[in-house]
Structure 1
Amino acid sequence: MCTKVVCIYTYKGAEVECLCGEVIWCNGKKNFSQKCFGFGQKCKDQLSLCTSSMLQASRGTVKPSTNFNASADAEVLHKAMKGLGTNEDAILQLVTARSNAQRQEIKASYKTLYGKDLIGDLKGELGGKFETLIVALMTSPTTYDVTSLRNAIKGAGTDEKVLVEILASRTSQQVKQIVAAYKQEYDHDLEKDITGDTSGHFQRLLVILLQANRQTGIQAESIESDAQALFKAGEQKFGTDEQSFVTILGNRSAEHLRKVFDAYMKLSGYEIEESIKRETSGNLKDLLLAVVKCARSVPAYFAETLYYAMKGSGTDDNTLIRVMVTRSEADLLDIRAQFRRLFACSLHSMIKGDTSGDYRKALLALCGGDDA
């Protein structure tokens, strides 16, 4: 609910509390937000972050179920897997209609009622891509990201695509939670594991993103100098100073970077994406572009990610599952709108044409509607 979105910020000894971006408390007095802007840009930034959290909370396709009963849901799932055969339809209809927090309660109730692990039973009864999707939905968001990163770097070879997608798109708070959970789960340092599997400026930018220390707000005094530094590092230089791209794109806030991109366009005559494509290559290029796209619009970035996961022959099911699961409660409605705008077809129709069976039914349930 909107009333649960509360942000606390201490500025020069004064506690600033934002409630849904509507009112804030300044020095113990309740005021309309615009009256508190005298506390400076940081106060505005915090209000903006609070409002943004409120809006994002309502932009998912999956909402908490009303009249939720974890024990009753656990019983439904148990019956669906009991005896000969499995009622996949009952499983997908229930799981896709509950929030992740509710699914965690169902898991706990299932163990209390039946003395068994729900995910273990689901793995034993289901198979293929449908199993992968349902298990992903039953996993908490942070644990799911941690597992995805672990699978991307363990063993021979590295799945750089997963590293790029997760670390470029997650908020600083989410990255900090991922780093802590990774350490707890595997007794390994995520940064060390990633640096052991990567190299060069690609590695350096990943390490910067893992610090989760992006500046907040817009530093008006450094917009032009950042644009100049990027121009001198690339288009104006023989060769490329990759470190300047890495430092600026890895440390500035999304709001600040959008201003820098506008200034860069005026200065150079190029969009920053064009210059990155010309001046860099390989994994570094992919990561820089992902950071830029997420700074511009996270939903547009994921709309593009989904499109290319399904475009052409074959489907990148791992990416399709990962994005649909992780964005279903965050911003999938916005992703659908961007998908329609960018590719002149609906996400629903592309999923329908590219998948089949219970896997398709579950994905379409997460999609939540057709923007035809």
Structure 2
Amino acid sequence: MKGIGTDEDMILMILTARCNDQRQQIKATYKKAYGKDLEKALKSELGGLFEDLIVALMLPTVQYDAAKLHKALKGAGTDDEVLIEIMASRNNEEIKNICKVYKKEYSNKLEKDICGDTSGHYQKLLVILCQGSREEEVEEDKVEKDAKDLFKAGEGKVGTDEEKFVNILGNRSFEHLRLVMAAYKKISGNELLDIIEGETTGNLENLMLAIVKCAMNLPAYFAEELRATMRRAGTDDDTLMRIMVSRSEVDMQDIKAYFTKKFGQSLYTCIKEDTDGDYCKALCYLCGGQD
């Protein structure tokens, strides 16, 4: 970055090839050596989607999630896709850490901001998830009961007892929910996913479906979300970037494997076809290159 011009290739090769902890060390050492904030320096040197991606990589993971949630909630309107993706997919520890950082950075509780922007059973389910208190263990005696309760709350009655769906999906562990889905199929003959689609609508439906999909197979959920970003008229770069940044050190290899198996094309190839320039190069580095 010194002098006229910028070596974008060097920037992306260094920062995308390092883990987040290493990037935080680089940021601290840079400030100590040159008396400048690396994030601000990068913003002044770069532009467009490439700048957005590189700056996103410089944030600690939990701070990045908190920032995305705050952006989704602030101002007029709510970005429910962001709310649903993050709240449905993060584990207890991640949710608790996000809440701590959110309060520190934005001087307000995440739960309070969620309540200010949402309503009804959708709000209730988000608030339950915001506690970061999913049951950790599978309780065998609850599996059959939960499956029967969900059947009675949906297919087995006129109308839908959404409260029952909210409490079970919001509080049970993913492993427990997988067993509940299998038990439900035996009782009903139908998939729980299909029942949720038939019994609920709107953001509540989308949040419940996301929880069930995450419980079934978390990498598969993100692979399908990534595919959706590149199937529209124009690429949904916000979602593409968010998933690539947040999952690059978590389960990217599993996401890539499922992506290729499900869609018959590698994630790397899709990124190459749908993006360009240094932004494309950086995304390709994050996904670990070709399969």
Q: Taking structure 2 as the reference length, what is the TM-score of the superposition?
A: 0.99
Corresponding residue for residue 280 of structure 2: 360
Q: Gaps spanning 5+ residues in structure 1: where?
A: 1-80
The answer as to 2:243 corresponding to 1:319 is: no
Percent of pairs with identical residues: 59
- The one of 112, 116, 125 aligned to 1:192: 112
Corresponding residue for residue 10 of structure 1: none
Alignment-mate amino acid for residue 70 of structure 2: R
Q: Give 3-state SS (helix, strand or coil) of 1:196's partner.
A: helix
Alignment-mate amino acid for residue 93 of structure 2: Q
Equivalence map 1:35-74=2 (5 Å): none
The answer as to 2:148 corresponding to 1:237 is: no
Alignment-mate amino acid for residue 344 of structure 1: G
- The one of 128, 140, 149 aligned to 1:208: 128
- The one of 99, 111, 135 aligned to 2:19: 99
Structure with bigger strand share is 1
Equivalence map 1:263-278=2 (5 Å): 263-278=183-198
Query: Structure 2: how far apart are the matches of 1:113 and 1:334?
Result: 38
Shift of 1:297: 1.0
Query: Structure 2: how far apart are the matches of 1:104 and 1:214?
Result: 30
Alignment-mate amino acid for residue 284 of structure 1: L
Bigger drift between 140-149 and 213-222 goes to: 213-222
Query: Structure 2: how far apart are the matches of 1:272 and 1:340?
Result: 26
Shift of 1:328: 0.7
Corresponding residue for residue 216 of structure 2: 296
Query: Structure 2: how far apart are the matches of 1:268 and 1:344?
Result: 32
- The one of 224, 235, 257 aligned to 1:337: 257
Q: Report Cα offsets for 1:252-278 as digits up to 9, x if no partner.
A: 011111110000011111111000000
The answer as to 2:66 corresponding to 1:146 is: yes
Query: Structure 1: how far apart are the matches of 2:150 and 2:11?
Result: 51
**Aligned residue pairs, count:** 291
The answer as to 2:49 corresponding to 1:134 is: no
CA RMSD of aligned residues (A): 0.8
Alignment-mate amino acid for residue 141 of structure 1: T
Query: Structure 2: how far apart are the matches of 1:271 and 1:341?
Result: 22
Shift of 1:116: 0.9
Alignment-mate amino acid for residue 103 of structure 1: R
Corresponding residue for residue 85 of structure 1: 5
Corresponding residue for residue 173 of structure 1: 93
Shift of 1:307: 0.4
Query: Structure 1: how far apart are the matches of 2:71 and 2:170?
Result: 24
Query: Structure 2: how far apart are the matches of 1:370 and 1:228?
Result: 45
Query: Structure 2: how far apart are the matches of 1:324 and 1:103?
Result: 16
Q: Report Cα offsets for 1:195-246 as digits up to 9, x if no partner.
A: 1000111100000000111112211111111001111111111111111110
Radius of gyration: which is bigger?
A: 1
Shift of 1:369: 2.7
